[in-house]
Each structure stands twice: as structure tokens, then as C-alpha cells.
Structure 1
Amino acid sequence: MKLSDDDVIIPFFQPIIAVDTRKISGYEVLGRVRTRDGVYSLGPFFHDPAVPEGAKVEADRLIRQKALELVAATGIKANVFLNIQPQWACSFLGRAERLPTLDYLQTYGIPGDQIVIEISEAGAFVTPKDLAELAGRYREAGCKVALDDFGLEFNNLERIFILKPDFLKISTALSGGTSNKAIFCSLLKVLGLFARETGLELMLEGVETETQFLEGLDAGVRYFQGYFFAPPQPGLLNEDGFAALVARELDRYASGKVKHRSGELEIVEQMNALLNDLSNAADRLDKCLCWLLCAASPSWIRVYVCDGYGYQQTPNYVRNGMGNWLPQYEYVGRNWCWRPYFLPYVVEAARKRQGVLSAEYLDLESHRPIRTFVYPLGADRFLFIDLDADSEGFAGTEERDPG
């Protein structure tokens, strides 16, 4: 893609929404070119190997300069996310000369803490040492750092250790289509947990549908960006412009979660009512299990007993193709305390003296979504009942636990 002398390079701004305040918390700056035929993305220009590197660097800096000039003129306080190609800035490393972006901040009187530097995937060609030094130069000026398109191209876990980013940007493009939706949602939840435990801010970009927005909420995402809210545009918007939309979606999300949780608690009550009759037979484990398997509902897929330290004391009882229960003796003596769900639910069940229901997770062997009901039998023994999470009783429940 070549630019003519009549083409004008301009910055566009795509709003980033914070769900807690329901306001625009920032903008990502994106490059556009205005031609006689209309306005087009500069993406093809930057990715065209025929375009000289110097021309790309010049255009890249012009976009940032014009964007920051507009930010200063409007006086907005929202964060400004600037895409940086590390390989174009590394020539400044080891020199006293200030980075061009930091010069623009001084020229327009913009504080560094208003700027978030997005490190792009092109930084794969920069050594880890230089990448860390570059991020440090921006941080010295008060800027924050975001790792862009995490999981795509070259942006992998190593980058987190190198950059120690403030923001982790996840693109919906990572799902690669509807066939990978379940895996993507699980990964998003894992990253949400990781972000909470490490102090990272998680941002979901490329959000185009309500479903993607709700999936982000389910993973604990705080910041959202995408066409579901607004496309990139040449001007800056009222910070409350999407408050009504976000409030409506949050209300819908909360209402659905309350309904789902109420349904779960009803299932827990039903299971406990059934299993409370075991109290008289708990001292006879074989009699207890025989009675239980006869009373089992179609949603039960596995039944077994462990002690409080994770050692399995009985076989697995699983259904065959005819619906009859068969023992799997090879599981006796195995230990499951290393499974993330095990000890927390065992402790909770013992403390409450009643059964508790796990979040949904994928079974290690069948790869089916299941939920485990843990019931205290006394004498440091616990009954585990694996339930089909796709059964009618769990219809509509969306919680997933990677454990």
C-alpha cells in the first residue's frame, strides 16, 4: 500500500469502557489515511514489506503526535493507549536522547500517567533485555505498559515476565471461531484469575457482540473495547456515552447470575435431602452405596468415596451402555488432593455438615463438563457424586471452573 502526496494521515480513537464506572476510561489510538475515496486503515501500509521502514516510522510517529495534540486540546483525562513498535524505538536505547513519544508528552503538557504504551507483537524481533529496558524508559516517565494481543502471534507468557505489564489485552480473535468458544471462555477465566492474583488489569478487545461482552464479565474482565460499543472514530466522545448500554447489560448479567445461583442452591437442597437418609447407613459403606446407586438420577455419571486427605476408598461406580452401575477397582487408593476443587469443597462440606456443589469443570477422562457434589459421611469419609453439567437441572448455568 502506497500513500500519495494528497493522502492525509490522521489518528482515530476507539473508546475503552470500564464496567465499574460505566464510563469511557481510555482510548486506543489507531492510524487512518484520508484519501479522495474515503478514510482507510493504515494496517495494510504498516504490514506491506514493499514500504520502506523509514516511511512507516515517520507515519507511526505522526499518528501519535496528532493524537496527543488533540488530547491536549480537548483536555480529556482518560487514558490514551499508544501502539509502539519496539524495533523502531530500540535505536534510542543506551542514549541520553529522549524517546519521541516522551518528547510529544512534554510538548503538549500531557502527564505520563495518562499514557499506556501498548507493546505489539512485532516486538518479537527485539531481545528480552532491550524490551525490558524500553518498557523501563516509558515507566520512568510515569507511563503504564500494556501487553497487546496476548496469546496471538509472539505475545506469550514470557512477555509477562519481561514487561511486567499493567494491562493484559486479550483479543476475541484468539477464539478462532465458534468451534473454540468453550476453550476460549475457559482460557479467559484462567487469565482473569491470573490477573486478580498478580494485580494485572484485564482488557477484552474486539468485542462485537453481547455474548462476547457477557463472557468477559464472567471472567472478571473490567475493561472492554470493540464495535459492540463504538468503532474507531476521529473524535473523542462524552465519557458517559455508553453508561446506559453498560448498565442495561450489567443488570441483565446480574439477573441471570442470580437465577442460575438460585437454581444451583435448589439442586443442593434436593441432593442433601436425599443424602441425609444415609446417616443411618453411613457406618456400612457397602450398604450405603448400594442404596444410593439404586436411588441415583440419570444425571449421575460417577460415584466414589474418599477420605479427607484425598485417598480414594472405594471403586469408581460408573454407568455402562445399559445404564447399569459397574465398579472400577483400579481407582482404589488413588489420591485426588492435588485437584483444585478437592480440598476446598471437602473442608466446606465438613464445616457445614452437609453437601456442597462444585463449579463446572471438564472431566479429566471423558472431557465432559461435570459438577461434583461432595457430601460428608462422617468418620473422615466423603461421598463424591459427579453430575452431568449439561443435564436438565443445570440448564443455563454458565459457570466453569478450570479445576
Structure 2
Amino acid sequence: MLNIARLSDDKVDTHYRGLSLSSHFQPIFSIAHGRAVGYEGLIRAHRPDGTAEPPAGLLSIPCNGRECLDLDRTCRTLHVHNFARQATGEAWLFLNLNSQYLVSEQPDIGFTRDLLQTSGIAAHRLVIEIIESEVSDHAQLKHFVSHFRQLGCLIAIDDFGAGHSNFDRIWDLEPDIVKIDRRLIQDAGQSRRVERILTGIVSLLHEAGSLVVVEGVETEHEALVAIAANADMIQGFYFAKPQARIDAEQSFATTFDNLLRGQQWQSVKRNADLQHYVSGIEGLFHRAVTHFVTHQHFEQSSAVLFSDPRMVRCYLLNAEGYQVSRNVYAPHYQQQMNARFAPLLCGDHANWSHKHYHYRALKQPGIIQISRPYLSVADSRMCITVSQTVVVGGTLYVFCCDLNWQEP
């Protein structure tokens, strides 16, 4: 068992190869609750002269798998004992587990059980963080995950989205929590395209039954992106840096109230931007629909819209969603068409009944519908679809036109 030295009633440390090791804890916040619901234990090392030893330097000291496992256990023991000495209510303790050496060395699996017993920490308050991409022996990894679950611990996949992470492990390991790698939130903070990808990843993880933590949040904008992506929890320097002592009484309610209001304002602004973007097209669209009702010539009616440089294509659907006209392209857009997507450019007899612009038009007959930006299967470009039902010769149609969408 770890040889710990008591520094005070709420703090202990230990020594390893001439270094002094201590625990720091970074809070993990529930966005909905606006408070810390967990703390990640992080190791800090100092040389005898008091200067800090970087974590990479500490982790490079062990010479083999057994020594790496011993250091890993030393860190976990230190974190558990320091956490147990502080007032944290029912908060979780997130512990990084070096699953690579756990699998390669195959130690006695009773270590964590004994650690919980000696510290007095309930198993359900321990979240075991695993970097799933580190381990090639998946069967052995599942064996250890099953052991921790039987103890009553929660399982978290760490750094998801980095390296060789894939959803196969998520389906198989069924983690309680998935922590999104910080690189993804940094990229999402700079790119609307990556932001949409992040939202999709969070949605898939929720469908898999996992809660989602976005870690590495360092700016207000990144926090807003994480909230907009529907993450459950959030962690990063923007809220709090790791500290040796946990201040469970510190309130972050105002911070999260402001962020949630900011996210709502951004959503309103994006809707306003979208409305502004298409404001000039509604008059043209009304003229085109009226022309079609009067003359019953779809291609001529579509030409009314092509004076707008954003216009891409027009097409006509029936009530069942089948495309009953060919795609009519704006002349200025035909020069930009990408031959690589030739198999998808022809929409004849395609069925678009599953698309929002079709069923929304049917739900509100005679009212112009404007979609959110989405990726068009026709040419793999972002677009907005304007649609409306129209009755011609006793038959109901949905008149559609696509506008090219450029990210702000």
C-alpha cells in the first residue's frame, strides 16, 4: 500500500523516485445544474528544490510495464485518499486508469476494492476513466471493465475523438460517460462544420446510452459551442483550474445562467441571420409559385427565381414525396456543377418524403417553409430549401428551390 505522509487533515502526499507527488482536482460541471458534480484527480510532481516536474517527465520514469502500473496505482491511491479527506457531498471522483498496462500486466483485480475500503469512498462515487484506443486486447479490457462495474463503479471513455477512437468500442463497452477530447471542442470553436460534427457525435453517444463530458473548454465561445451541442457536462480552464483543495461551496450558478442565456441569444441570432439571408427570395418565390399556378409550366416558373445569384435548383414533388420534375438548374450554377457527384445530380423519381422541407410544407399548406442549412445529397454542398404546397389542376404539389449556403 502507498506510503503517504499527512500534511494536514485534508491533504496527503507521497514520494516517488525522488519526487514529491500530490493531488490536484479539476471540477466537472453539469450544465443543467450549474454546479460541479465531479472532480478529476490529476497528479502533480515536484523536485526536491520545489520546481515542478512536468507530467510527461514523471510518466517517462518507469522502465517497464510493471513499473508503469505501480506508478499508476500510486497516483490513484493518492487521489482517492486526498478526495476522501475533503467535503465533496455526493460528487464523483474521476480517476484515470492506464488500461494499457492493466491489461498487459494482468494484476490482481482486488486493488481498487481494497482502496475503496481503506479510504471509505463508496464505489458508486468512483468513475474509472479509460482511454480505449490504448488497448489491443479488447477481451481483457472488457474483463477489467466488468470487474469495475461489479464493484459498483462508473466507466468513462476518455479522450474520445482522438487517435483511433471509434464507435465500435462504445457499442461494446457501453460506458456510462464519454469524455470528448479537447481538440474537438477547439476545432468546433473555429469551424461551424466541425461544430455540426460535434453535435452529431454527442447525439450518437446519447443514443448509445452514455452521458457526455466536453473537456478542455478554455473560452466562453467554446463553452457556448458545447452547450449548443447538447453536452451534459463540461470541464476546462474557462471554469476552474485544478486545485489541491476542493471548494464545493463555490457557486457557478451565475456563470451557467449567463452561458445559457448567451446560447439562447446565439440561437435567436442564427435564426435571424437565416431569415435575413432568405428575405429577398420570398418575393421571387411567391412570383414563381403564382406563375406555375397560372401557366402550369414548371421550368418557365423556375426561371423567375434565377435572377438571384444564390439560387441553385428548382424541383417539384408530389404529395407522396416523389420528384415529378427534373432538376432545373440556374444557368450561373450549371458552370459550377461537380461531375464527381454525377450519379446524384439527377433527381428524377427520387423520393424526398423524409426531408423536412417536404413534410413541413404538407403540414402547413400554402405557407412558405424555410429549412435550416443542411448538406444536399444532390451535389454535397450546404444549402437551404424554400418550399410550399401548391394545387395545380386539382393535384397537390410541393414547389421547392435550393439556395447555396455559405457559412458566416
TM superposition score normalised by structure 2: 0.81
Moved more, 296-305 or 218-227: 296-305
2:94 corresponding residue in structure 1: 81
1:20 equivalent in alignment to 2:32 = yes
| Runs (5+) with no aligned partner, structure 2 | 1-14
Q: Is the 8 A contact 1:304 1:315 kept in 2?
A: yes
1:303 partner SS: strand
2:350 corresponding residue in structure 1: 335
C-alpha separation between the residues in 2 aligned to 1:234 and 1:179? 30
1:69 corresponding residue in structure 2: 81
Q: Is the 8 A contact 1:33 1:42 kept in 2?
A: yes
Q: Is the 8 A contact 1:311 1:334 kept in 2?
A: yes
2:178 corresponding residue in structure 1: 168
Aligned residues with identical type, % of pairs: 24
Per-residue deviation, 1:263: 5.2
Question: Structure 1 359/83 Cα, relative in aligned 2: closer, same or farther at 3 Å?
Answer: same
Paired AA for residue 251 in structure 1: R
1:311 equivalent in alignment to 2:322 = yes
1:242 equivalent in alignment to 2:257 = no
1:32 equivalent in alignment to 2:48 = no
TM superposition score normalised by structure 1: 0.82
C-alpha separation between the residues in 2 aligned to 1:13 and 1:330? 55
Per-residue deviation, 1:154: 3.1
1:119 corresponding residue in structure 2: 130
Q: Deviations over 1:48-103 (max 9, x none)?
A: 3863333322221121112111221113121111111223334796x9x5432222
1:385 equivalent in alignment to 2:395 = no
Paired AA for residue 398 in structure 2: F
C-alpha separation between the residues in 1 aligned to 2:190 and 2:276? 31
Q: Deviations over 1:167-200 (max 9, x none)?
A: 1111131478589834432221111221332332
Paired AA for residue 141 in structure 1: L
Paired AA for residue 38 in structure 1: T
Q: What does 1:144-223 correspond to in 2, within 5 Å? A: 144-174=154-184, 181-223=191-233
Paired AA for residue 161 in structure 1: W
2:69 corresponding residue in structure 1: 57
Q: Is the 8 A contact 1:207 1:224 kept in 2?
A: yes
Paired AA for residue 44 in structure 2: R
2:245 partner SS: coil
Q: What does 1:337-356 correspond to in 2, within 5 Å? A: 337=352, 342-353=354-365, 354-356=367-369
C-alpha separation between the residues in 2 aligned to 1:169 and 1:221? 10
Q: Deviations over 1:81-134 (max 9, x none)?
A: 1111223334796x9x54322221111121111111111146323x22222221
1:149 partner SS: strand
Paired AA for residue 314 in structure 2: V
The count of corresponding residues between Structure 1 and Structure 2 is: 382
Moved more, 364-373 or 182-191: 364-373
Per-residue deviation, 1:356: 2.1
Q: Deviations over 1:341-392 (max 9, x none)?
A: x43432221011123222222334554422212222233421221123338x
Paired AA for residue 172 in structure 2: I
C-alpha separation between the residues in 1 aligned to 2:179 and 2:251? 23
C-alpha separation between the residues in 1 aligned to 2:130 and 2:405? 40
2:58 partner SS: helix
Tell me how large the CA RMSD over aligned residues is: 3.4
